[in-house]
């Protein structure tokens, strides 16, 4: 009898154990649903990531990213005969400061009016676009193209605008680095043609004109403009950005930045399809030495940069030069460092 009772207990314990270990049907069903959902999410994320990679690779392939170093050894000087040279202007001796969170890109606008790039063009506009990858703040610095500079490695002086003619983007970068101790090795080059095309692609820009500006532009434009707010197409915006006959090259720089600010605003309300079309139409006319990874990072963070803190300035600063042939490059390099990095003393040195 006792043996039978023990057998019954053992059988009961086994049944109880099976009951405990057996998963409930409802719980099993929820687990399966969760696995399916997670799998679907992972597939969507993977597909989206692959799509972004393919898309950015496509955009990057549209640009001219090849070797742009030409043979400039036989280029003749185009220096003005009455070029003003300030012998007292000394180059900064500070080591170049760098910050891994800051990417400086030299924006070079050359003076071709056709689609093709001319290796011996002049830099009609030179700016430093400084991007803070941590805070997504943006700094834009216009470099006065009429500054007299000493060509790197030579005793010859010339205008900053002419350095592109002598040695392309590489020489412009070297000149900016040596004269301002500025950490910049990357550049983006466009010309008048793509400038007009980009503005037409975004549907034009809104620019507020003074009476003098409107009168001056009406000598060149097929459609008349007036004092106050005007909606300009690519050609009209280019004429506005190049206008200096009524005042000076300093005001011309301000006009260029005004157009850039309007272009920036023009991107804010564009759909993904519209942005894709703009990229496909304009990127083939862009030259750069940005790597594919740098370009992808820039594109991914573009919305934050567009809406980030934005400040601008022009170099040389007032009071730091006695004519553009005698610029205090040491003083301006310190001003640039503080503006771009918020620091006046170096802590990191690049080669």
Chain centroid to CA 204: 20
Same-domain check for residues 20 and 101: no
- Predicted confidence (pLDDT) per residue in 51-97, tens digit: 556 677 888 899 999 777 766 665 555 444 444 455 446 778 777 88
Which one, of 196, 188, 197, 147, lies nearest residue 169 by Cα?
Answer: 188
Structure confidence at residue 337 (pLDDT): 93
Give domain status of residue 172, yes or no: yes
Same-domain check for residues 37 and 73: no
Which one, of 320, 334, 319, 324, lies nearest residue 157 by Cα?
Answer: 324
Residue 125 near residue 109, CB atoms below 8 Å: yes
Give domain status of residue 137, yes or no: yes
Same-domain check for residues 287 and 178: yes
Instruction: Please tell me which of 44-58, 73-87, 209-223, 260-274 the model is most confident about, judged by mean pLDDT.
Output: 209-223
Question: Is 90 exceeded by the pLDDT of residue 333?
Answer: yes
Pairing mode, strands 205-209 and 186-191: unpaired
- Predicted confidence (pLDDT) per residue in 123-166, tens digit: 989 999 999 999 999 999 999 999 999 887 776 788 999 999 98
Same-domain check for residues 123 and 190: yes
Structure confidence at residue 45 (pLDDT): 58
Give domain status of residue 225, yes or no: no
Residue-number span of the structural domain to which 334 is assigned: 68-202+270-341
- Count of domains in the chain? 2
What average pLDDT does the chain have? 82
Same-domain check for residues 90 and 175: yes
- Predicted confidence (pLDDT) per residue in 274-323, tens digit: 888 999 999 999 999 999 999 989 888 888 888 889 999 999 999 998 88
* Domain CATH number, residue 319: 3.40.630.190
Structure confidence at residue 350 (pLDDT): 43
Same-domain check for residues 31 and 139: no
Structure confidence at residue 16 (pLDDT): 47
CA 140 vs CA 30, 169, 309: distances in Å: 55, 18, 11
Structure confidence at residue 284 (pLDDT): 92
Same-domain check for residues 298 and 197: yes
**Which residue did the predictor score with more confidence, 139 or 43?**
139
Tokens matching residue 23: 């998963």
Give domain status of residue 150, yes or no: yes
The size of the chain, in residues, is: 351
- Predicted confidence (pLDDT) per residue in 240-255, tens digit: 999 998 998 889 999 9
Same-domain check for residues 300 and 189: yes
Structure confidence at residue 127 (pLDDT): 95
- Predicted confidence (pLDDT) per residue in 166-189, tens digit: 889 999 999 999 999 999 999 999
Give domain status of residue 239, yes or no: no
Give domain status of residue 22, yes or no: yes
Name the percent of the chain lying above pLDDT 90: 48
Question: Is 50 exceeded by the pLDDT of residue 346?
Answer: no
Using CA of residue 96, residue 153, residue 67, residue 107, what is the dihedral sign? positive
Structure confidence at residue 79 (pLDDT): 46
Same-domain check for residues 167 and 83: yes
Same-domain check for residues 9 and 126: no
- Predicted confidence (pLDDT) per residue in 182-211, tens digit: 999 999 999 999 999 999 999 999 999 999
Same-domain check for residues 35 and 106: no
As a whole number, mean pLDDT of residues 4-16 equals 52
Name the percent of the chain lying above pLDDT 70: 78
Same-domain check for residues 283 and 330: yes
Structure confidence at residue 28 (pLDDT): 73
Give domain status of residue 156, yes or no: yes
Question: Is 90 exceeded by the pLDDT of residue 42?
Answer: no
Spell out the alpha helix ranges (H) of the chain.
2-21, 25-62, 163-180, 192-201, 211-217, 234-242, 249-267, 272-282, 292-300, 302-306, 329-341
- Predicted confidence (pLDDT) per residue in 15-25, tens digit: 545 554 555 55
Structure confidence at residue 248 (pLDDT): 87
Give domain status of residue 61, yes or no: no
């Amino acid at each position: 009898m006792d043996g039978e009772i023990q057998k019954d207990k053992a059988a009961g314990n086994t049944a109880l154990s099976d009951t405990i270990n057996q998963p409930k049907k409802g719980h099993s069903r929820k687990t399966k649903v969760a696995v399916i959902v997670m799998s679907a999410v992972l597939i969507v994320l993977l597909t989206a990531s692959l799509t972004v990679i393919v898309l950015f690779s496509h955009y990057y392939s549209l640009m001219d990213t090849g070797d742009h170093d030409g043979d400039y050894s036989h280029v003749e000087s185009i220096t003005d005969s009455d070029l003003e040279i300030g012998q007292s202007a000394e180059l900064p001796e500070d080591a170049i400061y760098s910050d891994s969170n800051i990417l400086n890109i030299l924006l070079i606008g050359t003076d071709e009016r056709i689609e093709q790039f001319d290796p011996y063009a002049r830099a009609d506009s030179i700016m430093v676009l400084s991007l803070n990858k941590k805070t997504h703040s943006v700094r834009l610095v216009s470099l006065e193209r009429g500054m007299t500079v000493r060509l790197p490695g030579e005793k010859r002086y010339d205008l900053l605008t002419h350095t592109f003619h002598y040695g392309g983007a590489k020489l412009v970068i070297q000149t900016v680095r040596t004269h301002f101790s500025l950490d910049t090795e990357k550049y983006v080059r466009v010309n008048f043609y793509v400038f007009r095309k980009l503005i037409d692609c975004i549907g034009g820009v809104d620019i507020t004109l003074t009476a003098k500006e409107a009168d001056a532009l009406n000598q060149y434009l097929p459609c008349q403009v007036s004092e106050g707010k005007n909606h300009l197409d690519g050609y009209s915006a280019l004429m506005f950005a190049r206008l200096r006959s009524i005042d000076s090259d300093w005001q011309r720089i301000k006009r260029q930045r005004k157009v850039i600010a309007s272009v920036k605003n023009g991107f804010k309300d564009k759909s993904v399809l519209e942005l894709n079309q703009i990229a496909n139409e304009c990127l083939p006319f862009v030259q750069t030495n940005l790597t594919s990874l740098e370009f992808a990072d820039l594109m991914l963070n573009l919305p934050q940069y567009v809406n980030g803190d934005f400040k601008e300035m022009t170099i040389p600063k007032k009071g730091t030069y006695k004519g553009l042939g005698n610029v205090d490059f040491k003083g301006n390099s310190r001003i640039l460092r503080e503006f771009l990095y918020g620091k006046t003393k170096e802590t990191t040195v690049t080669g």
